[in-house]
Structure 1
Amino acid sequence: MEKERKAALPTTLRQKNYLTILNTFRGEEALSANDVSAMTGISRATVMKAINHFTECGLLKSVGKGDSTQIGGKKPELFCFCMKRYILCIGLCAEEMVASLYDLKNNLIAKEYIPYNRKEDVNTFFDKVEYISDLLFEKVEDGRELLYGVSLCMGGFLDITTGVLQYSALTPEWGYNVPLKEMLQERFPEKEIAIDNVARMAACAEVLDNPAYEQKRVAVLYTDVGVSACYIDKGHILHGRNSMIGEIGMMVISQSDVKPYTNADTALFSNQISEKTIVSNVFAQKEKLRESSLYEFRDDLKLMDIFSEANKGDVFAREIVKKAAWIFSAALQNIVVNFDPEVVIFQGNFSRGGKWFEECLWEAMRCYPQSKLSDSFEIRYDMRPLISLQMRGATKVMVCKFFQEEEWIRK
């Protein structure tokens, strides 16, 4: 048995080294064998063998000579990734379906939007997926033929192993345990399929755009209709057995207004910081509202208006935002205690809270004496549209899958 293990080691090590070398070519930069050796710590001889192998496979190509070193000598040959394949990413945004086509270097090639009604059944959803995909393929030559895989971003509880949507409050008409991966595979046979929760897909975008986060513990807070979190530990997204890891919207923050053994929805974090709840709290305080600039918005008041007026100095708006920040601090305190992140990133609605929300959040976080935040602890606000983050993260998932294919080594 020991002999078998030793015999298997060189093949395993070769696979690992070759995939590591291939991954260095994921960017736009042309690299020499010496560059790759310095980046990976793998010997130049092994790097050159791998480059020759991948060139024969059609993944890499030579792009000429680089500059000589400072002491002169032969100019190094440069190589870059050249295989042409596409990734189709699909998501839902408000009342629209969005589809984007990317190449394997995460460059956007084409994008389409079509109207979508969330009350439509799941079969109609997939009919529209086919329709919007056809629109993209009409724009891109050989787009369908060169399609590598499809990434689908969905709200709700998803089992990423099976691709089954256990349930989504956003599409309740679909029912329970919908085999999304199987249904998508029927429409895109022999293509790679990736399906995940919108929050986890959007979180992937943060790691894609900040490689330093691949060495840190990161909590990404996705704030939209509801709120959820994605935990990334040194580049690896944590998934719960029951798809519950990161569903912080279901976290109980306060039961002070809840009668024992009755419906406790009002105690949930997602309800306490929802736009509907916050706006209702504004209108419930009529006397303060009349003295506030928020009164001018009447029935059109939105969360972004409250943030805006608070940042301008309106006393009542600041009071409302301060309360929201205090509620958020309770959720963050739980996250810090249980996950110990080095970075917390806000996406969506509360990423646009502005200076006042940020000041109140830090003030509230410091009120928990047992929470010892290190000097390096960081809170960031990513204000990019959520649908853009979903699409960008979905490409990362599929690109990672491509560059880990053992098929490239066996060829």
Structure 2
Amino acid sequence: MDTAPRISLKQSNRKIILNMFRESSVLSVSDVSLKTGISKPTVQKVINHFAETGYILPEGKGNSTDEGGKKPLLYSFNQLLGYVVTIHVGPDFMHSAIIDMKSQILQSDFRKLDDIGIEEVTRMCADVISDYSKSDLVQNSRIISISIALPGIVSASEGVLVYTPHFPGWGNDYPFVGELKKLVSVSAPILCDNINRYQAFAEMKAGKAIGKRNFMIIDAMEEGLGSGIVVNGQLKHGAQNFSGEIGHMLLMPTSGPKCICGGKGCFEALVSLKRINALINEGRKLHDNSLIFTDENNETMLKRLFAAFVQGDEFAIVIMDEIAFWFASGINNVIMINDPELIILEGIYTTVGDSFIELIKFHLERLAYPGIERKVQIVMSDFGNERGILGAGTYAIWSFFNQVEFYSD
């Protein structure tokens, strides 16, 4: 049975026209009518409706056409009418921001997290929300939504943090949204989901996946790897919200390195910083002249490895080739199950460049179905450390403007 809310022609026209303003700078009635096929009188009525509610602003008059005539009235979307507080809770940090309705980051804060309990994390989130709600930005406006990106398995529909291997002491099935609401006085919806799903949404709306309906992101951190999967334009959660937990896909179950989840040979354990350091230490005696050990320009071993690899250092190539093999093995399994058109790599490996992607493709072509060309596109993300807060915020804005009731009288 189709349970999707019905939308009238009036509501549909309002949504189409407002979305056009949200994605543009300045438009006239004629611009909107030409691009949407909606009549000029209807466009003007919709503009008047949103002008009354403050979502569309007049911008004066434009230039006349070559044929002359009256100068058209111009309008724009009021991106400062409301704000979103977005928070990314990471394995050892909390990154937060307040963004406008075009996903522009206006203020942000980054703080390290010690080994604290989930109740304290919830209180910290409440304090962050309170601080942003009192900022000068919000005084003449309002917070339209609060969005929290969490690590681990998350039930977005219930607002529950099911489990995170990074913090096993947090327990199971913590009612995150419910507990946060008790501490927050701001009258705005509170959303939460797994960080990688939010990051995939950001790529779909503002990144490398614009226009794509079947893709996934793979985010490899120093310790941890996860994925956000989009199928037919929809974020996938799965029956138990396991969708995207590819970091714990077993690739070397009998003799692989131990993972933080307790298993052996998980995808994320085979490409983690811990694994990289182990490989470097194992080969140090035989490769003591490697650029990895003689480079004085980069502070961390990871940066030294990447720099040496790009410069063609033999030992660095050996290490990166092994990492690329495990990436290819994990990606191959995903392709066999999901067959995406695009895979976007995020996280620590994005600074390596296309040569690392070529290594992954080299191994990928030699795995399952070697006789069939893999047409999946693999690219590096343009997002940096802001990807978590941007993803959570972008999803909250989309959710706010996707409400059918918003376009009613």
**How does the TM-score come out when normalised to structure 2?**
0.87
| Amino acid across the alignment from 1:292 | S
Of 280, 283, 288, 1:282 maps to 280
The range that moved more, 236-245 or 356-365, is 356-365
Percent identical among aligned pairs is 26
Find out whether 1:229 has 2:224 as its counterpart: no
User: What residue number does 2:344 align with?
Assistant: 345
Of 136, 140, 153, 1:140 maps to 136
CA gap 1:28/1:17 in 2 versus in 1, 3 angstroms: closer
Q: State the secondary structure of the residue aligned to 1:142.
A: helix
Find out whether 1:194 has 2:191 as its counterpart: yes
Residues 282, 289 of structure 1: 8 Å contact kept: no
User: What residue number does 2:391 align with?
Assistant: 393
By how many angstroms is 1:279 displaced?
1.5
| Amino acid across the alignment from 1:207 | M
Residues 101, 108 of structure 1: 8 Å contact kept: yes
By how many angstroms is 1:229 displaced?
1.2
Find out whether 1:183 has 2:179 as its counterpart: yes
Please list the CA deviations of residues 282-329 of structure 1 after superposition, one character each: whole Å capped at 9, or x if unmatched.
22235423343334589x963332222122222111101001101111
| Amino acid across the alignment from 1:72 | G
By how many angstroms is 1:138 displaced?
4.4
| Amino acid across the alignment from 1:162 | E
CA gap 1:185/1:41 in 2 versus in 1, 3 angstroms: farther
| Amino acid across the alignment from 1:342 | E
Q: For this pair of structures, how many residues does the alignment match? A: 394
By how many angstroms is 1:100 displaced?
0.6
CA distance in 2, matches of 1:35, 1:350: 42
Residues 57, 76 of structure 2: 8 Å contact kept: yes
User: What residue number does 1:73 align with?
Assistant: 69
Of 230, 237, 240, 2:238 maps to 240
1:38-53 matched pairs, under 5 angstroms: 38-53=34-49
CA distance in 1, matches of 2:165, 2:262: 17
Q: State the secondary structure of the residue aligned to 1:401.
A: helix
By how many angstroms is 1:212 displaced?
6.2
Q: State the secondary structure of the residue aligned to 2:103.
A: coil
Of 154, 161, 168, 1:165 maps to 161
CA gap 1:196/1:62 in 2 versus in 1, 3 angstroms: same
Residues 311, 355 of structure 1: 8 Å contact kept: no
By how many angstroms is 1:393 displaced?
1.1
Residues 213, 234 of structure 1: 8 Å contact kept: no
- The RMSD of aligned alpha carbons is 2.7
Q: State the secondary structure of the residue aligned to 2:400.
A: helix
CA distance in 2, matches of 1:404, 1:246: 24
User: What residue number does 1:22 align with?
Assistant: 18
User: What residue number does 1:110 align with?
Assistant: 107
Please list the CA deviations of residues 363-390 of structure 1 after superposition, one character each: whole Å capped at 9, or x if unmatched.
212223144223xx4221125433x001
Find out whether 1:205 has 2:202 as its counterpart: yes
Residues 113, 132 of structure 1: 8 Å contact kept: no
Q: Runs of 5+ in structure 2 lacking a partner?
A: none
| Amino acid across the alignment from 1:402 | F
By how many angstroms is 1:115 displaced?
3.9
By how many angstroms is 1:242 displaced?
0.9
| Amino acid across the alignment from 1:45 | P
CA distance in 1, matches of 2:314, 2:90: 34
CA gap 1:254/1:171 in 2 versus in 1, 3 angstroms: closer
CA gap 1:94/1:334 in 2 versus in 1, 3 angstroms: closer
Residues 162, 174 of structure 2: 8 Å contact kept: yes
Q: Runs of 5+ in structure 1 lacking a partner?
A: 1-7
| Amino acid across the alignment from 1:147 | I
Q: State the secondary structure of the residue aligned to 2:22.
A: coil
| Amino acid across the alignment from 2:264 | T
User: What residue number does 1:3 align with?
Assistant: none
Residues 86, 102 of structure 1: 8 Å contact kept: yes
CA gap 1:181/1:91 in 2 versus in 1, 3 angstroms: same
Q: State the secondary structure of the residue aligned to 2:26.
A: coil
User: What residue number does 1:379 align with?
Assistant: 378
CA distance in 1, matches of 2:401, 2:388: 20
CA distance in 2, matches of 1:19, 1:241: 31
Of 30, 51, 56, 2:52 maps to 56
CA distance in 2, matches of 1:207, 1:217: 10
The structure richer in helix per residue is: 1
